[in-house]
Amino acid sequence: MNTAAWTFDNSFLRELPGLFTPWQAEVPKAPKLVLFNDALAAQLGLPGREAGGAQLAEWYSGAAPVPGSEPAALAYAGHQFGQFNPTMGDGRALLLGEIVTPGGARFDLQFKGSGRTPYSRGGDGMCALGPALREYLVSEAMAALGVPTTRSLAVVATGSGIWREQPHPAAVLTRVAASHLRIGSFEFAATHQGREAVERLCDYALARHHPALLDAPNRPLALLGAVAEAQARLVAKWMALGFVHGVMNTDNVTISGESIDYGPCAFLDTYSAGEVFSSIDRQGRYAYGQQPVVCRWNLYQLASALIEAIAAADGAGVETARALLEDWPLRYRAHWLRELRAKLGLATEHDDDDALAQDLFSLLEGQQADFTMTFRALASALTQGFDVFAAQLLEPDKLQPWFARWQGRLALEPLDPAVRAAAMDAVNPLYIPRNQRLDAALGAAEAGDLAPFSGMLAAVSQPNAAQPGWEDYSAIPADGSPHHVTFCGT
């Protein structure tokens, strides 16, 4: 057994009193390792499979203490579907502590599904195996797609069952994150603790994520700017991939700019800006096309939590914060356009590019076009002609003029079509977690057959290069229902 590799340094507990409660995981009945991320463990300098499946299962379920960990449930607040909830927190999660890697990077290790905590309210503190596997697969897919994201290290079945409309096996997921600071952490400090605590939290966040900004004249303002930038980049990536988060509550928005909490999330099948998958999002607040709008709304909540500290640092800072959020759509748009240029094979910048990209989305509305395959088809059309693209569309004639316009734009930066197609394929994935196929794989896994899940995990972990035998992962299942619904992964 190699425990020498555990190097915890639990700064959150040292520096942020009042924002956590020390707590222990519930001891599981019969922990059994379901998944372990060897590559991630190696990257973090943590013990690998040589420790043995039984030992890993004990560590990553709360059956045996992880050496050096100091488990605690974190306190936070949050705007849930627009309503402020002043007291939330880790109701079924525990921060184990912060791992410092051999390279000096710092990551949170966190359990999800490890039992009730002081923040559980009416919840049971548990996580079903299906949602734990879902988060594991989608977060690993996002990482492979180049999206800043929390990662998944292990899933352990606890040996107990839980009830979610029907019985499910329970599991503990171990999550790795740059930190678990959220907009809701700042809302909690501002609501319950006051300005000095907000300033302390702000300096802590800067030290962890933007140490260079600790020298800024107005540090809370600098943090707001850095989070606004990180979230603009993140949401632009979601939009470019057709990813719908599903619960963009402020407690699910990180300060680091990583995607977090893969509950009712989904990837677009056929494109529509109004697409909603989550069963709990009845008003479409978090629909695909709403995500940049909601992101900015969330940033306003961060600004509210920081505003006293911003004003105390320098009175003019409030006006700067206002202007920063006013102009945020431009900042977001610049990130979105960079993503879209790459998706469309454009290496240079021209004034009409924004309109070209936006018009494609407008024209795709109602075409029943598979979002993911549309961009692969555009690349194929470079060498095989318009018909490949047309095959994705209900009314190809409506897109023909746009296609010609795109060809004209490409002519401004001549490049061998095969070379350009390869560059496009390198950013436009072929294999994404297809909603219905993922749910089928999770159902099979809960029934004891992990094979469909493992196959899909392999494909989405290498999303861009075509592999023989993986054809099924690159299409909407033919027998699927036209509109898929996802459920909150509790």
Active site residues: 251
> Which residues share a beta bridge with 47?
none
Is 298 a binder of Mg ion (CB under 5 A)? no
Distance CA 413, CA 418 (A): 14
Is 369 a binder of ligand AMP (CB under 6 A)? no
Residue 58 contact partner, candidates ligand AMP, Mg ion, none, CB within 5 to 8 A by sort of partner = none
Q: Between 249 and 380, name the residue whose CB sits nearer to ligand AMP.
A: 249
Helix axes 328-343, 291-313, angle to 10 degrees: 140
Is 185 a binder of Mg ion (CB under 5 A)? no
Is 187 a binder of Mg ion (CB under 5 A)? no
Comparing CA positions, the residue from 25, 278, 256, 310 lying closest to residue 147 is 256
Plot region of 469 (φ>0 → left; ψ -120 to 50 → alpha; else → beta): left
Residue 91 contact partner, candidates Mg ion, ligand AMP, none, CB within 5 to 8 A by sort of partner = ligand AMP
Residue 247 contact partner, candidates Mg ion, ligand AMP, none, CB within 5 to 8 A by sort of partner = ligand AMP
Is 26 a binder of ligand AMP (CB under 6 A)? no
Distance CA 76, CA 406 (A): 47
Interacting positions 226-255 with Mg ion (CB under 5 A): 252
Please identify, among the stretches 38-46, 84-92, 223-231, 340-348, the one whose residues bind ligand AMP according to the rule CB under 6 A. Answer: 84-92
Distance CA 226, CA 183 (A): 13
Residue 97 contact partner, candidates ligand AMP, Mg ion, none, CB within 5 to 8 A by sort of partner = none
Q: Can you tell me which of 26, 90, 187, 425 binds ligand AMP, judged by CB under 6 A?
A: 90
Is 115 a binder of ligand AMP (CB under 6 A)? no
Interface with ligand AMP (CB under 6 A), residue total 17
> Which residues share a beta bridge with 278?
486
Interacting positions 120-149 with ligand AMP (CB under 6 A): 120, 123-126
In whole angstroms, how far apart are CA 164 and each of 126, 241, 410, 444? Answer: 10, 30, 52, 17
Is 490 a binder of ligand AMP (CB under 6 A)? yes
Is 269 a binder of ligand AMP (CB under 6 A)? no
- Report strand pairing: 243-244 vs 266-267: antiparallel
Distance CA 230, CA 253 (A): 11
Q: Between 10 and 110, name the residue whose CB sits nearer to ligand AMP.
A: 110
Q: Between 24 and 461, name the residue whose CB sits nearer to ligand AMP.
A: 24
Please identify, among the stretches 27-35, 245-253, 311-319, 337-345, the one whose residues bind ligand AMP according to the rule CB under 6 A. Answer: 245-253
Q: Can you tell me which of 261, 339, 370, 425 binds Mg ion, judged by CB under 5 A?
A: 261
CB of 441 to Mg ion, least distance (A): 23
Q: Can you tell me which of 34, 63, 88, 137 binds ligand AMP, judged by CB under 6 A?
A: 88
Q: Between 157 and 373, name the residue whose CB sits nearer to ligand AMP.
A: 157
Please identify, among the stretches 87-95, 376-384, 404-412, 441-449, the one whose residues bind ligand AMP according to the rule CB under 6 A. Answer: 87-95
- Residue found by looking up tokens 């603790």 in the block: 193
Comparing CA positions, the residue from 184, 210, 5, 176 lying closest to residue 95 is 176
CB of 182 to Mg ion, least distance (A): 8
Is 191 a binder of ligand AMP (CB under 6 A)? no
Is 171 a binder of ligand AMP (CB under 6 A)? no
Please identify, among the stretches 83-91, 342-350, 370-378, 441-449, the one whose residues bind ligand AMP according to the rule CB under 6 A. Answer: 83-91
Is 261 a binder of ligand AMP (CB under 6 A)? yes
Q: Between 164 and 484, name the residue whose CB sits nearer to ligand AMP.
A: 164
**Cα dihedral across residues 174, 178, 184, 189: positive or negative:** positive
CB of 124 to ligand AMP, least distance (A): 5
Residue 229 contact partner, candidates Mg ion, ligand AMP, none, CB within 5 to 8 A by sort of partner = none
Interacting positions 306-335 with Mg ion (CB under 5 A): none
Q: Between 286 and 375, name the residue whose CB sits nearer to ligand AMP.
A: 286
Q: Between 55 and 249, name the residue whose CB sits nearer to ligand AMP.
A: 249
Q: State the first-to-last Cα distance of the chain, in angstroms, to the nearest integer.
A: 34
> Which residues share a beta bridge with 94?
111
Q: Can you tell me which of 89, 225, 433, 463 binds ligand AMP, judged by CB under 6 A?
A: 89
Q: Which two tokens stand for residue 123?
A: 């919840």
CB of 149 to ligand AMP, least distance (A): 15
Site residues, Mg ion (CB under 5 A): 252, 261
Site residues, ligand AMP (CB under 6 A): 88-93, 120, 123-126, 247, 251-252, 261, 263, 490
